[in-house]
Structure 1
Amino acid sequence: MTRARETSATVVIVDDDDGVRLSLESLLEVAGYTTVTHASAESFLDSDWPGGPACVLLDLRMPGLGGIDAHHQIRNRDAELPVIFLTGHADVPAAVQALKQGAYDFFEKTGFDHGQLLERIESAMAQHRQRLAHRQEEQALQSRLLTLSERERQVACLAARGMPNKIIGQELGISERTVEVHRGRVMRKLALRSAADLVRLERFLDD
């Protein structure tokens, strides 16, 4: 079983050329990827998108909605989904411009090297896996933050700013010992191991 299969990675192929879609679909499925194909950008944008690690191979020039405009809509919906443009030689300047606007990479369709394309796709997948994991960690943290009482959150906010327990107690009108108790509960509820972990959460606590 390939790494792609193990992580349920999906490559979405968006190209109006039937031959290109079939060729890429065959290549990627042999490499272990799940593939989804669309003959137009509109079809892809109207579809259900993959929920796990994914990458989009997007033709730069298509009838109807072109690749550049489709890319703008993709980024508006999910800025973390990596897009690799498929281009002709004459389209390279436009593809370079797309990179500046957030595309992950571009690849010339004419005489392309299969190995290089697979390497770029896996690199994009690795980035997307990392971003998805980070998003899941933040969502889990937000859920844990909801378990804090109002007083615990107050203590956590001040502690995250590096304030000593004694000063926190003075700020909140409670004893230093009470601060220690609340701080201990915060550490347990948020699954934190050190004061440094708490400091790194300051931006979440201030939300």
Structure 2
Amino acid sequence: MERVLIADDHPLVRDGLRTVISVAFDRCEQFEASSLAEAIEIVEREGDFDLVLLDLNMPGTTGFGGLAAMRERFPSVPVVIVSAAEERGLVRGALAAGAAGFLPKSLRRGAIVDALKLILAGDIYVPPFAEALYDEDKEEADIRRRIDSLTPQQRVVLGLVVVGKLNKQIAYDLDVSMTTVKAHVSAILSKLNVFSRTQAVILANRVHFTANPVVPPHH
């Protein structure tokens, strides 16, 4: 790590992080900002940074506004949220808003160094108390990707399977043959990587999947 910006309105926090970084990363050039406006000004003036450590609550920003502003202006600079609050919802929000990691201020020095090295290697750092949540998010994103691979007709069929309709009823609703419905169901199970309709329903429910309602053709 050659250049880092520490953006926090508490001098003590900045000092602490600066000391940790000085010891762990030899010859790393460090910059400091005490407000969001100052942080943006420094990155604009100085160019590329390896990392920006951004306090969640700083003058000039509320919530993830600061993170959003940094990501929008400097999309290639990894921004790590630093926060005294240890809430799973905050971690989820920070990662969803594009943070490269979430560092609780309670972390030990060694853990901070490990986290920064992980982020510099291109990974995302999630604090231990939120790891299970992150895994869950990744799983749900994977399920959504699988459902997105379905054709529009397969999505409609999956929606009907989810509400408990049998093949016979689905064939009637869609005005197609039983063979067609069975082919759709087989394709759905294959794309979702499951073996049964029940498993398909469980996956769909995990991500609150609902298909567009079917307007039954006139028989």
Among 133, 137, 143, the residue aligned to 1:134: 137
SS at match of 2:55: strand
Any idea what SS the aligned residue of 1:154 has? Answer: helix
The residue number in structure 2 matching 1:124 is: 127
1:58 to 55, 59, 63: 55
Percent of counterpart pairs with the same letter?
A: 18
Aligned to 1:155: 157
Amino acid paired to 1:66: P
Structure 2 Cα separation of the partners of residues 12 and 160 of structure 1:
49
Q: Which one of 184, 193, 204 corresponds to residue 209 of structure 2? A: 204
Aligned to 2:191, which of 189, 192, 204? 189
Partner of 2:7: 14
User: Unaligned 5+ residue runs, structure 1?
Assistant: 1-10, 86-94
Given that 2:6 and 2:30 are in contact with CA atoms closer than 8 Å, whether structure 1 keeps it comes out as yes
How far is 1:163 from its partner? 1.8
CA-to-aligned-CA distance 1:19-40 (integer Å, 9 cap, x gap): 434213146659xxxx996512
In the alignment, the residues of structure 1 paired with residue 39 and residue 135 of structure 2 have an alpha-carbon distance, to the nearest angstrom, of 21
**Displacement of 1:158 after TM fit?**
0.6
**Partner in structure 2 of residue 171 of structure 1:** 173
Instruction: Show structure 2 runs of 5+ residues with no match.
Output: 72-78, 92-101, 117-124, 213-219
CA distances 1:161-195 after superposition (whole Å, capped 9, x unpaired): 22222221222122333211110011112323332
Task: Mark the CA change 1:144 to 1:177 in structure 2 (over 3 Å): closer, same or farther.
Answer: same
Letter in 1 for 2:65: Q
Alpha carbons 1:155, 1:168 under 8 Å: kept? yes
SS of 1:134 mapped into structure 2? helix
User: What residue number does 2:96 align with?
Assistant: none
* Change in 2 beyond 3 A, CA 1:176/1:14: same
How many residues of Structure 1 are paired with residues of Structure 2 in the alignment? 169
Query: How far 1:157 moved relative to its partner?
Result: 1.0
Q: Which residue number in structure 2 is paired with residue 73 of structure 1?
A: 65
> 2:5 & 2:140 partners in 1: Cα distance?
26
| RMSD between aligned residues | 5.0
